[in-house]
Amino acid sequence: MAEGIILVDPLPRTLDLIMEPDVRARLEKLGRVVISEDAPMSDAQIDELLPETVLIFGQTALPRERLDRAKKLKGVINVETNFLPNIDYQACQERNIWVLTPGSAFAAPVAEAALGMAIDLARGITAADRAFRAGTEQYGLAANAETFRFAGASVGIIGLGDLGKNLRELIRPFRNPVKVFDPWLPDEIIERHDCTPASLDELLSTSQVVFVFAAVTGENQGFLGAREFALMQKGAAFLLMSRAAVVDFPAMLDAVRSGHIRVATDVFPEEPVPADDPVRQMEGILLSAHRTGGTVDALFSIGRMAVADAELILRGLPPQLCRRADPALASRLRSKPVSVT
């Protein structure tokens, strides 16, 4: 489709992981494809290829001085799916280089898992299973003394991005009143999704179920701490589905140990979690090994979205599926790079 090099440097992803054969065949038609999957592409090879490179699939570092040598570059698609601090986003915008992520591929599966985990916390499903296996089960009303119905329960969503919007659509049949805290969005956007804008304190103090989908920035690390957990209703459910760094993790665990709230988390400060970490033995917390988004179909969606937008870019058209990096926002993000796929 284009005369030029397609530089593919996708680790920790691999092409087999994110591209079905037909999608890979489309990639091969885009130009001269140069792939490095056994190890990250060396700086020497990148610098050699950049003058003729038109597209990059991967997490290649692109400071301004390197971009100066990439005169033909039209797009960079981060298939790791985070906007990392190794790119000069402002320089890319000035030079009309699209910097994209297909991260929304994970939104639907994460939202689906979040809903399942919320129902579990509300109804005590896995807790009852563990009690039954231990021979300490209770029956009927006695078994539901500390449960509540998810249907109709007041819901709070912290962060109404792709994940939050998908969750909001999934829970519509449950007729939950939904409040949203998202300082990056105007009230009009929140209201368009049939939600009520709220301050963080109001959301925490009035919601039976709180979903956290907030991205990590330089300003909000640990913004959910002991004070915030104390604001929550006793017995409320708190679901951490985005990044561990947005909470004070020890304070969250203290709130669980005290019996004040019940928690589900798909993310941890250190991953993989050490085998001797006490969190593994805690009651009142539902644990998930950062697995809610990494389904086979979601990973293949990364490849489909990336290649489809690459085809558009090389035709001189704007991409339609991936999210474009905005320098004002991308420079503030602080998500840890993916190390385990």
Predicted confidence at residue 334, as pLDDT, reads: 59
Q: pLDDT tens digit string along 20-43?
A: 999 999 999 999 999 999 999 999
Predicted confidence at residue 217, as pLDDT, reads: 85
- For the four alpha carbons of 83, 85, 89 and 92, in that order, the dihedral sign comes to negative
Q: pLDDT tens digit string along 321-338?
A: 999 998 877 767 656 555
Question: What is the rounded average pLDDT for all residues in the chain?
Answer: 95
Structure tokens at 145: 């003394």
The one-letter amino acid code at 178 reads V
Q: Is the pLDDT of residue 341 over 70?
A: no
Collapsing DSSP to helix, strand or coil, 296 comes out as helix
Q: Are the C-beta atoms of 300 and 15 separated by less than 8 Å?
A: no
**What is the residue whose two structure tokens read 């993916």?**
338
pTM of the predicted protein model? 0.93
Q: Are the C-beta atoms of 172 and 193 separated by less than 8 Å?
A: no
Q: Are the C-beta atoms of 18 and 299 separated by less than 8 Å?
A: yes
* Cis peptide upstream of residue 51 (ω within 30 degrees of 0): no
Name which of 9, 99, 6 is nearest 59 in CA terms: 9
What confidence tier does 339 reach under pLDDT thresholds 50, 70, 90?
low
Q: What is the mean pLDDT of residues 274-281?
A: 97
User: How far is residue 66 from each of residues 32, 71, 73, 88, measured CA to CA in Å?
Assistant: 20, 10, 11, 10
